[in-house]
Chains A and B, each alone.
Chain A
Amino acid sequence: MATSLRAAADGTPPPAPPSSPTRRSTPPPPSGWRSRFYRWDLRLSPYAFVSPFFLTFAAFGLFPLLYTGWLSLHRVELGGDAEWKGLDNYANLADSEFFWNALANTFTIGVISTVPQLLMALGLAHLLNYKLRGRGFFRVAVLAPYATSIAAATLVFAQLFNTDYGLINTVLGWVGFDPVDWESSKWPSQIAISTIVIWRWTGYNALIYLAAMQAVPQDLYEAAALDGASRWRQFVSVTIPSIRPTILFTIIVSTIGATQLFGEPMIFGGSLGVSGGSGNQFQTLSLLMYEKGWVTGALGQASAIAWVMLLLLLLIGAVRMLFARANRKKLGA
């Protein structure tokens, strides 16, 4: 150290360190290292930043998915060893009345919950789109049911729909109707469950529609008004076509939700929830899967149901893509 200092003071260049000749031909040493690091950083950092998601997905998404697929080809009893069965589990599903019953229930409950839900959400969004007093309050209020937990909401509804002591049957009694068997009859029980789903999700969808409606240019409405179009006419001819992609989106999301319906019928049914009532009258695919896996302990069969559900959803996704493509063509033309 001391020598080099003195040399600098003399005005002569300090003796070069042994490695200097090679370095002198390239750009200054620190910046070369830095630029390489910079390039690596530029290229790899994004991967590092997104890796937590993909690692988590691999551990908790992909692995269970593949493992479930493997299980679905075996006969597995809870706590026992797996035994190869090939596609038997799937073949058994095709033969099983309980599977078809659950599939049908999932479909009917899905339809009677999704259709009214989306129609009501559209209407609600349209109303919220008006300039009315306390608009902010109402917009928050419609979202409140969505913030309630499924369990809490379902417990309350289960009490309301109680056949012997429920408020709904009491009110029906005042009006002079016979009490409805909300739990053990097929359609009443499915309607009751759909009511819970509708109650929870209508506000959520309404807000999505509202956001889309606010993006519709005001000029269109003014032009329509000048042409003498009524509010209703404006809604049908301006609003609906303008937010069509959003409607399609909510239909898909609601369909996926309906396919996986589990918590509401489970809790609504109380002790009979897992089997969807005494005659499986509201057993959905998810409930059947749960019953197979955890009540019966037939994990292979439960896995097969899980995979069938996945395939169903992929099918729905494919249909959505086709629709979206057709829609884009129509808009592009």
Chain B
Amino acid sequence: MRTSSTRRTREGRRRTTMAAVAGLTACAALITGCGGDGSDEAGGDGKITLRIGTFGSFGYDDKTGAKLYAEYEKAHPNIKIVESNVADGQKYWDTLKLRLSRNSGLADIQALEVGYIAEATGPAMADKWVDLSKSGGADLDAFLDWKVNQATTSDGKVIALGTDIGPMAICYNKDLFAKAKLPTDRAAVGALWQGDWAKFLETGKNYQKNAPAGTSFHDSASGLFNAVISSEPVQYADTKGELDYENSPGVKKAWETAVAAAQGGITAKLRQFDEKGTWNAAFKNSKFATVACPSWMTGIIKDQAGAANQGKWDIAAPPVAGNWGGAFLGVPKSGKHAKEAAELAAWLTAPAQHAKVFGVNGNIPSTKHTLTSAVVQDAKLPYFGEAPVGKIYSEAAAGITPAPISRWDGQVKTFITDNGILDIEQRGTDPAQAWENVKKLIEDKIEQ
């Protein structure tokens, strides 16, 4: 009797272990990406889990952001919000595109970068998104008109709501400027290069003459490319929104400026948002003195340079006003809780929340009244020596004329910066050769 009973329990135990292992494996599979089905229900208390996929820094989270999730969860006890964040926007988009095509693994809300918004509203993807002009109750009139237009499909659906825009300034390291015998006052620094990117390059050469050992004037030539093209009225697309990067004066100017910077040896030869963290480490170690600074970049500098470098960074007006980046929140149709997700997206992008995020993370809002409100106008960033960020960036925002965007903008930008400019910068490739390579890449990868 005894033996048989032990055997039975042992067998029973083994069976439970097996079941547990099987269960664990299934869970692991769900967590690692097959999700979307099983992970929506958080326990048996009837809570809905809304997952939100973001890249870079949106400033919503409960740790370093504006704690918007906690606030929403408090007001909606049946909802739990989980954010998954990817540092590299290009990788984020590649994955998102793949998941959209399969309709699986998607979060309930997905962030979209402006460079890819034309692709998202294009024929291949437009139908995959919930029409937020009908669902979720967002007040579309509150947004800047061009921001709404960018996310509107040809048949009038609004597939995403604007979060921030990217008016641009130049962030500079006061310590390094002082050591290189350049002015450190933000008005004087802005005056060094006011009105012309050529003057910015000139300042770079002056910096390099007295530069502290091992430091460079600018972080990356590709960053400079993005900054210059952001200030151009014609970028990758013609007025009809068709890709025409080869004849674009904006691309030409940005390319030439970036090449001059790379060849002039004033850049630190880094790749922005590098997954290995070399770029991040360079912030921490003060390896470069300036970085083109769209409003969302201030959050990144604060996080990466860290508390040790508080007060070293400041913000000056850019040579030419521009808009680099900015994002949207969209709700994929395939989600189980599309209605709740649309409501959350509408809430996250409402003027009040824009103001809160701006207060913490410095993301410049894409809603009209928030831009002119006292919250933004009077805002100062302690990390940047109490710089009047609100004034600097809302002034830059006023100068923005949004350029037409084509479906391929994001990819073309990646090829030009990652393959063209980085190649000149890091490997000394001849610029004409590098441009040929870029053209070949675009031909090879975009036209099938």
Residues of A within 8 A of B (CB): 75, 77-80, 96-98, 158-159, 162-165, 181, 183-185, 270-272, 275, 278-281, 291-292, 294-298, 300-301
B448 at the interface (CB under 8 A from A): yes
Q: Is there contact, CB below 8 Å, between A271 and B98? A: no
Q: Is there contact, CB below 8 Å, between B124 and A275? A: no
Closest 7 CB pairs of A and B: A79-B101, A184-B426, A278-B422, A270-B275, A270-B276, A271-B275, A78-B101
Q: Which of B74-82, B170-178, B393-401, B439-447 touches A?
A: B439-447
Of A181, A275, A300, the contact of B426 (CB 8 Å cutoff) = A181
**Tally of A-B Cβ pairs under 8 angstroms:** 82
Q: Is there contact, CB below 8 Å, between A296 and B446? A: yes
- A77-B91 Cα distance, complex, nearest whole Å: 19
- A163-B281 Cα distance, complex, nearest whole Å: 12
Q: Is there contact, CB below 8 Å, between B274 and A271? A: yes
Q: How many residues belonging to B are interface residues under a CB distance threshold of 8 Å? A: 33
Contact A162 B276, CB 8 Å, known A98-B444, A272-B271, A298-B448? yes
Contacts of A78 in B (CB 8 A): 97-98, 101
Contacts of B274 in A (CB 8 A): 270-271
Contact A300 B427, CB 8 Å, known A162-B278, A271-B271, A271-B274? no
B437 at the interface (CB under 8 A from A): yes
Q: Is there contact, CB below 8 Å, between B281 and A278? A: no
Contact A300 B278, CB 8 Å, known A79-B101, A294-B94? no
Contact A278 B91, CB 8 Å, known A79-B101, A98-B444, A298-B448? no
Q: Is there contact, CB below 8 Å, between B427 and A278? A: yes
- A300-B274 Cα distance, complex, nearest whole Å: 30
Of B100, B273, B419, the contact of A279 (CB 8 Å cutoff) = B419
B88 at the interface (CB under 8 A from A): yes
B73 at the interface (CB under 8 A from A): no
Contact A184 B91, CB 8 Å, known A79-B124, A80-B124, A275-B418? no
B90 at the interface (CB under 8 A from A): yes
Q: Is there contact, CB below 8 Å, between B271 and A279? A: no
Of A164, A275, A281, the contact of B278 (CB 8 Å cutoff) = A164
Contacts of A279 in B (CB 8 A): 419, 423, 427, 429, 437
- A280-B97 Cα distance, complex, nearest whole Å: 23
- Of all chain A residues, the one with the shortest Cβ separation from B102 is A79
Contacts of A301 in B (CB 8 A): 448
Q: Tell me how far the C-beta of A173 lies from the nearest C-beta in chain B, rounded to whole angstroms.
A: 12
Q: Can you list 8 residue pairs at the A/B interface with Cβ under 8 Å?
A: A80-B124, A163-B278, A181-B426, A184-B422, A271-B90, A272-B422, A278-B423, A297-B97
Most buried by B among A80, A279, A292: A279
- Of all chain A residues, the one with the shortest Cβ separation from B421 is A278
- A80-B102 Cα distance, complex, nearest whole Å: 11
Q: Tell me how far the C-beta of A13 lies from the nearest C-beta in chain B, rounded to whole angstroms.
A: 45
- Of all chain A residues, the one with the shortest Cβ separation from B271 is A271
- A315-B287 Cα distance, complex, nearest whole Å: 51
- A275-B441 Cα distance, complex, nearest whole Å: 10
- A226-B339 Cα distance, complex, nearest whole Å: 88
Q: Is there contact, CB below 8 Å, between B448 and A75? A: yes
- A298-B447 Cα distance, complex, nearest whole Å: 9
- A306-B445 Cα distance, complex, nearest whole Å: 17
Contacts of B308-347 to chain A: CB distance below 8 A: none
Q: Tell me how far the C-beta of A189 lies from the nearest C-beta in chain B, rounded to whole angstroms.
A: 10
- A281-B276 Cα distance, complex, nearest whole Å: 18
Most buried by A among B88, B275, B276, B422: B276
